[in-house]
């Protein structure tokens, strides 16, 4: 599995929150991880929920995790 296992109950709860108050999840992500929030449109609920889920489970921002990850293969730009 990846960094954080899917938490379907938390996802459902966040989806309900977003339905009741559109933009609330993006605002929450902006408070926690402004770098990751800036990468997504406020209506990109799926990606926002995943970033929040990762933070809830690990305590580490998704943007920090992505920065720490090394590429599998060397990159050569021509």
The whole-model pTM stands at: 0.81
Average confidence score pLDDT of the chain: 90
**According to the model, what pLDDT value does residue 2 have?**
63
What DSSP string describes 18-45? Answer: HHHSTTHHHHHHHHH-HHHHHTS-TT-H
CA distance 42 to 23: 6
Longest dimension (CA), the chain: 48
Residue 68, token pair as written in the block: 């720490």
From 1.10.20.140, 1.10.10.60, 3.40.50.2300, 1.10.1040.50, which CATH number describes the 8-68 domain? 1.10.20.140
Per-residue pLDDT tens for 22-42? 999 999 999 999 999 999 999
CA distance 5 to 23: 24
pLDDT above 50 (res 1): no
Query: Pick from 14, 1, 70: which is nearest to 47 by CA?
Result: 14
């Amino acid at each position: 599995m990846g960094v954080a296992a899917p938490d379907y109950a938390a996802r459902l709860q966040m989806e309900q929150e977003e339905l009741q108050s559109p933009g609330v999840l993006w605002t929450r992500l902006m408070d926690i991880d402004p770098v990751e929030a800036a990468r997504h449109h406020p209506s990109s609920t799926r990606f926002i929920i995943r970033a929040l889920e990762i933070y809830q489970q690990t305590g580490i921002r998704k943007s920090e995790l992505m920065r720490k990850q090394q590429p599998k293969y060397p990159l050569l730009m021509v």
